[in-house]
Structure 1
Amino acid sequence: MAKNEPILSLHDINHQIGDTVILNDISLDLYFGEMVSLIGPNGAGKSTLVKLILGLLKPTSGQIHTNAVTLGYVPQRFSVPEILPLRVQDLLSQTNSKRLTFEQKAFILDSLSIKPLAHKQMAYLSGGETQRVLLARALLDKPDLLILDEPMQGLDPDTESWLYHFIDELPDFLACTMLVVSHDLHWVMKGSKRVICLNKHICCQGVPSEIAHTPEFSRLFGHFQPYIHHHDHCQHTDNCHHGHDYIYRNTR
């Protein structure tokens, strides 16, 4: 696969249920090493778009092309009934970890503090523990495209901050494209290379410093004023921004 060739392309995607239009005329490309955020109001079709990319749904019309990539997925919600004795080690044993060395797998498990949880049942984990296990499961497959669907929802601020830092600082051997569905506009605007704003169609997309000033963004999220925080934290891909991050304050 050529470096400038997209790993995922959506062309003229439409999805509807009966007469209800869920997504209309969606076209986009994702490239290796990008950190792309998908934002939009409730009911905008974000989760539907993720399910289409994962192949869990089929579009009413249009084409989705993946360039033989391995997909990783951390869902918005993951609940296991108490009657099902699914342990953490049982869930992680289902991964295709042959793509990683023993040392690389150990790094993931150690960094996410998985080993103390190995014998615990998934049903009894806290929200933060569950998200760490699901992220470990996704990373052990060494994905080319990692999709995170509201990964921080319901977490306490310390756990949320820790997980954001972890995905921001992935080592070279886990370098991949990330598509992150999030309502956290402050993180979206400082952590993304590209932001896609969805409201059944793509309202606008681009780099955070530009998209925040578009009329479409303002209508949905209000006005954001940028503050520049000098920071050079990304070392695993040429596609990252260096020198500063943008942090925004909602002035609606």
Structure 2
Amino acid sequence: MSSQHETLIEAKTVSISHRGRAVLQNVNMAVRRGEIVTLIGPNGAGKTTLVRVMLGLLKADSGEVARLPGLCIGYMPQHLTLSENMPLTVMRFLAMAGNKSKLSMQDVLQELDIEQLADYPMQRLSGGEHQRVLLARALLRQPDLLVLDEPVQGVDVTGQAALYNLITRIRDRFNCGVLMISHDLHLVMANTDQVLCLNNHVCCSGHPDSVSQHPAYLELFGTAVQAELAIYTHHHDHTHDIHGNVESHHQEHDHG
């Protein structure tokens, strides 16, 4: 039986250089079951490199990565380019990924509110729909750890909020850990448990409230983000779904 807060994956003093330039310097981070951890930082900060090292796709020059034995990882790429000349429905795309878990395709489509898109061509999906299908593909593995690289890429601000709410719901429903790379400071701060601010080394880390006040964070992102954060961190009595419809918070939790 899995422990609620067991450590799924942990980087210990990871360092890596590329052409003589330090990309990561003595980075420590961990993701536990039931926890959403978000990596933020400027372009070139080493966020993607750190995730690739943690996934075993890159070897660090020094340090180590410890993974829970038998850890199952579901990965959602930043984007996926499909040829316009290759007609591919959502259902066919998901079937190509294979499914070795107990979750059925129908379960996943229903969980992500995209049942109506099953026979839709991938090339005709909106930004938000496309990202939900990529998330569905990652979820089909019924992973212990979901790794999401810029999950709201190409999605409008209403769709972004809905997608972040969905990620939180998936974490609650499947009791998985989530490791996310994001640039969307204003929204991500309200939808994560731990933030790690990276600029080739760990500038600061911790709960979003403390990180957003940290001098290193403010130096990287500027005090202008404070006003932006204030807009999004207050509580709403409703949210919008993938289609832009208003749904109340108590309706939203009925899925969980």
TM-score, normalised to structure 1's length? 0.81
Q: For structure 1, which segment, 6-15 or 153-162, has the greater mean C-alpha deviation from structure 2 after superposition?
A: 153-162
Once the two structures are TM-superposed, the CA of residue 89 in structure 1 deviates from its matched residue by 1.9
Which segments of 5 or more consecutive residues in structure 1 lack a partner in the other structure? 234-252
Question: CA separation of 1:209/1:86 partners in 2, compared to 1, >3 Å: closer, same or farther?
Answer: same
- Aligned equivalent of 1:147: 147
- Equivalent pair of 2:73/2:143 in contact (CA under 8 Å): yes
Once the two structures are TM-superposed, the CA of residue 113 in structure 1 deviates from its matched residue by 3.7
- Aligned equivalent of 1:79: 81
- Equivalent pair of 1:95/1:141 in contact (CA under 8 Å): no
The reply on whether 1:43 has 2:44 as its aligned counterpart is yes
Which segments of 5 or more consecutive residues in structure 2 lack a partner in the other structure? 239-256
Question: CA separation of 1:128/1:99 partners in 2, compared to 1, >3 Å: closer, same or farther?
Answer: same
- Equivalent pair of 1:146/1:177 in contact (CA under 8 Å): yes
Question: CA separation of 1:171/1:189 partners in 2, compared to 1, >3 Å: closer, same or farther?
Answer: closer
Once the two structures are TM-superposed, the CA of residue 178 in structure 1 deviates from its matched residue by 0.9
Once the two structures are TM-superposed, the CA of residue 11 in structure 1 deviates from its matched residue by 1.4
In structure 2, how many angstroms separate the alpha carbons of the residues matched to 1:4 and 1:187?
25
- Equivalent pair of 2:4/2:175 in contact (CA under 8 Å): no
Question: CA separation of 1:57/1:212 partners in 2, compared to 1, >3 Å: closer, same or farther?
Answer: same
- Aligned equivalent of 1:236: none
- Aligned equivalent of 1:176: 176
Q: For structure 1, which segment, 202-211 or 111-120, has the greater mean C-alpha deviation from structure 2 after superposition?
A: 111-120
Question: CA separation of 1:24/1:232 partners in 2, compared to 1, >3 Å: closer, same or farther?
Answer: farther
In structure 2, how many angstroms separate the alpha carbons of the residues matched to 1:172 and 1:161?
17
- Aligned equivalent of 2:205: 205
Letter in 1 for 2:126: S
- Aligned equivalent of 1:10: 11
In structure 2, how many angstroms separate the alpha carbons of the residues matched to 1:232 and 1:177?
27
- Aligned equivalent of 1:138: 138
* 3-state SS, counterpart of residue 79 of structure 2: coil
Question: CA separation of 1:98/1:61 partners in 2, compared to 1, >3 Å: closer, same or farther?
Answer: same
- Equivalent pair of 2:34/2:172 in contact (CA under 8 Å): no
- Aligned equivalent of 2:251: none
In structure 1, how many angstroms separate the alpha carbons of the residues matched to 2:143 and 2:29?
20
Q: How many residues align?
A: 231
Once the two structures are TM-superposed, the CA of residue 231 in structure 1 deviates from its matched residue by 8.1
- Aligned equivalent of 2:25: 24
Q: For structure 1, which segment, 87-96 or 207-216, has the greater mean C-alpha deviation from structure 2 after superposition?
A: 87-96
TM-score, normalised to structure 2's length? 0.80
Once the two structures are TM-superposed, the CA of residue 4 in structure 1 deviates from its matched residue by 4.8
* 3-state SS, counterpart of residue 190 of structure 1: coil
Question: CA separation of 1:90/1:205 partners in 2, compared to 1, >3 Å: closer, same or farther?
Answer: same
- Equivalent pair of 2:165/2:191 in contact (CA under 8 Å): no
Question: Which of the residues 50, 70, 73 maps onto 2:72?
Answer: 70
Once the two structures are TM-superposed, the CA of residue 77 in structure 1 deviates from its matched residue by 1.6
* 3-state SS, counterpart of residue 170 of structure 2: coil
Once the two structures are TM-superposed, the CA of residue 131 in structure 1 deviates from its matched residue by 0.5
- Equivalent pair of 2:14/2:61 in contact (CA under 8 Å): yes
- Equivalent pair of 2:38/2:181 in contact (CA under 8 Å): yes
Q: For structure 1, which segment, 166-175 or 150-159, has the greater mean C-alpha deviation from structure 2 after superposition?
A: 166-175
Question: CA separation of 1:144/1:230 partners in 2, compared to 1, >3 Å: closer, same or farther?
Answer: same
Once the two structures are TM-superposed, the CA of residue 180 in structure 1 deviates from its matched residue by 1.6
Once the two structures are TM-superposed, the CA of residue 124 in structure 1 deviates from its matched residue by 3.5
* 3-state SS, counterpart of residue 190 of structure 2: helix
* 3-state SS, counterpart of residue 189 of structure 2: helix
Once the two structures are TM-superposed, the CA of residue 157 in structure 1 deviates from its matched residue by 2.2
In structure 2, how many angstroms separate the alpha carbons of the residues matched to 1:221 and 1:64?
29
